C-alpha cells in the first residue's frame, strides 16, 4: 500500500489521514491505524504522544494539502469568474466527501480546540481567498459592485460542502453538480449585468 521508502511515522500519518476521512476521529482506533500503516504495536507511541497528537499531525497535513490544491486553481490563470468556476468544477471524489468537511461532523474534533483549529483555519482561508477574488473582479469591473465577497465565499463553501452531503445521500454526484451549476448561473448573471 505504501512505498518501501516511506518511514514508519509517515505511514502512520498517511494511514490516519485516510482513516479520518473514511471513519472520522471516533471511528479511527489506534489498532486500525497500526494495521493500515503496517506498523508494529507501540510504534504510534514511540513517534507520537498518542492518538490526539497523531490525528492533529494528520489533520494539519490534510488541511495544508487542501489549501494548496485550492490555491493552484484559485491563483491560476483566468478572470476572477473563471477561477471561481474552475474551483467549483475541479475534479473531486464527490461521493467520498471532503476530508476537512467530514471532520466538522465529528463531535470529538469539534470539542477539541487543537483538532478543530486546522479545520476552522482551512474553511476561513478558502472563504477569504474567494472573497479576495470577488473583490479583484469588482476592481476589474467584472462583478457587480454590490456583491459582498465574504458572502460569495460563504456561498461557494456552502455549495461545495452541501453538495457533498446531497451527493452522498443520493449516491450520485449529480446533486453536487446541480448545486454547482446553480451557483455558477447566479454568479454569471452578476457578471453579465456589468458587461451590458
What the chain holds in terms of domains, given with CATH numbers, is: 60-195 (1.10.357.10)
pLDDT value at residue 4: 65
- For the chain, give the mean pLDDT: 93
User: Among 2-6, 60-64, 96-100, 160-164, where is mean pLDDT lowest?
Assistant: 2-6
Q: What percent of the chain has pLDDT over 90?
A: 87
SS3 content of the chain, % helix, strand, coil (to 5): 75, 0, 25
pLDDT surpasses 50 at 194: no
Determine the Cα angle at 175 with ends 17 and 109, to 5°. Answer: 30
User: Tens digit of pLDDT for each residue in 41-59?
Assistant: 888 888 999 999 999 999 9
Amino acid at each position: 500500500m505504501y512505498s518501501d521508502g516511506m518511514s514508519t511515522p509517515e505511514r502512520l500519518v498517511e494511514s490516519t489521514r485516510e482513516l479520518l476521512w473514511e471513519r472520522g476521529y471516533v471511528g479511527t482506533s489506534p489498532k486500525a491505524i497500526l494495521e493500515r500503516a503496517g506498523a508494529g504495536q507501540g510504534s504510534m507511541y514511540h513517534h507520537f504522544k498518542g492518538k490526539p497528537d497523531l490525528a492533529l499531525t494528520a489533520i494539519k497535513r490534510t488541511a495544508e494539502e487542501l489549501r494548496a490544491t485550492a490555491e493552484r486553481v484559485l491563483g491560476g490563470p483566468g478572470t476572477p469568474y473563471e477561477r471561481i468556476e474552475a474551483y467549483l468544477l475541479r475534479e473531486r471524489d464527490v461521493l467520498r466527501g471532503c476530508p476537512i468537511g467530514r471532520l466538522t461532523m465529528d463531535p470529538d474534533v469539534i470539542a477539541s480546540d487543537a483538532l478543530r483549529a486546522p479545520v476552522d483555519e482551512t474553511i476561513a482561508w478558502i472563504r477569504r481567498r474567494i472573497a479576495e477574488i470577488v473583490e479583484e473582479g469588482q476592481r476589474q469591473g467584472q462583478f457587480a459592485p454590490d456583491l459582498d465577497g465574504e458572502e460569495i465565499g460563504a456561498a461557494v463553501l456552502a455549495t461545495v460542502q452541501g453538495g457533498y452531503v446531497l451527493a452522498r445521500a443520493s449516491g450520485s454526484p449529480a446533486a453536487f453538480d446541480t448545486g454547482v451549476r446553480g451557483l455558477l448561473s447566479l454568479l454569471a448573471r452578476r457578471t453579465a449585468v456589468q458587461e451590458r
